[in-house]
Amino acid sequence: QCKYLKGCALNIGNKYNPKAEEILIDAAKMNPTMFEIWNELGDCIWKKGDKKGARNCFERALNQQRNKVSLRNLSIVMRQQQSVTNEEIEESVKISKEAVSLDVTDGTSWYILGNAYLAQFFLCGQASNVLKLSLNAYSKASADEKSFVGPRLPLQQGHSFQIFG
């Protein structure tokens, strides 16, 4: 538990910290069933640019317990791959929906779902109903005052409204 907390503290921020990765790997070896460790390690490895390694960590976390953080991060990582297939985009949407189903009041999960729908719109045929789903998800994300989804939410909503007309 102590190594996990130290790894979390070192992993704060947007830059990759190799010491955080080292400590989190040790923590995962000591307690491989603690999904929070796998989430933090995945986040750390993701900062390094290793999307495949991050995906593996999030999947390992989900093997321990289905949780919204792993699902959200897995959805994003899936959409950030070099060449994303329509099937992977659809799986990303499905995973994002599951994250929302675990906590329907969580604005961050709604925001990630909105982004997944927007990716589906652009990469899988530009169906107007998918764009409506994106707008609906962004609307629900903005209704959550506790979650901070950042300044991108109004931008994403604006893009969707502009496209939708």
Question: Shortest CA distance to 14 belongs to which of 54, 50, 44?
Answer: 44
Three-state DSSP state, 34: coil
Residue 62's pLDDT is: 98
| 103-121 pLDDT tens trace | 999 999 999 999 999 999 9
Distance in angstroms (rounded) separating the CA atoms of residues 146 and 148: 7
CB 93 within 8 A of CB 117: yes
Residue 1's pLDDT is: 83
Residues of the chain below pLDDT 50: 153, 157, 161
Residue 154's pLDDT is: 52
| 119-151 pLDDT tens trace | 999 888 888 889 999 999 998 998 877 765 555
Rg (CA), the chain: 16
Residue 161's pLDDT is: 46
Structure token pair of residue 15? 């830059």
